[in-house]
Amino acid sequence: MTSEKHDRATQLADLAHFVLSVARDIRIYGQLDPEIIEITLLESLVMNHIERNPGTSPSRLCDEIGLRSSNASALLRSLETKGMIRRIPDPEDRRSVSLQATPLAARNLEKVRAAWTQLLARHVDGMADVAPTIELLSALDESFTRAGVPVLPRPGRDDRSCGLPPTIHQLKPEPTVK
d(CA 156, CA 144): 22
Question: In percent, how much of the chain has pLDDT > 90?
Answer: 59
The tens digit of pLDDT for each residue in 103-122 reads 999 999 999 999 999 999 99
The pTM score is 0.72
pLDDT band at 144 (very low <50, low <70, confident <90, very high): confident
Average pLDDT (30-52) is 89
Q: What pLDDT shows up at residue 81?
A: 97
Res. 125: pLDDT tops 50: yes
CATH number of 24-147: 1.10.10.10
The tens digit of pLDDT for each residue in 86-101 reads 999 988 888 899 999 9
Domain borders along the chain are: 24-147
Q: How far apart are the first and last CA of the chain?
A: 32
d(CA 5, CA 3): 6
Output the 3-class SS for the chain.
CCHHHHHHHHHHHHHHHHHHHHHHHHHHHCCCCCCCCCCCHHHHHHHHHHHHCCCCCHHHHHHHHCCCHHHHHHHHHHHHHCCCEEEEECCCCCCCEEEEECHHHHHHHHHHHHHHHHHHHHHECCCCCCHHHHHHHHHHHHHHHHHCCCCCCCCCCCCCCCCCCCCCCCCCCCCCEC
d(CA 109, CA 172): 26
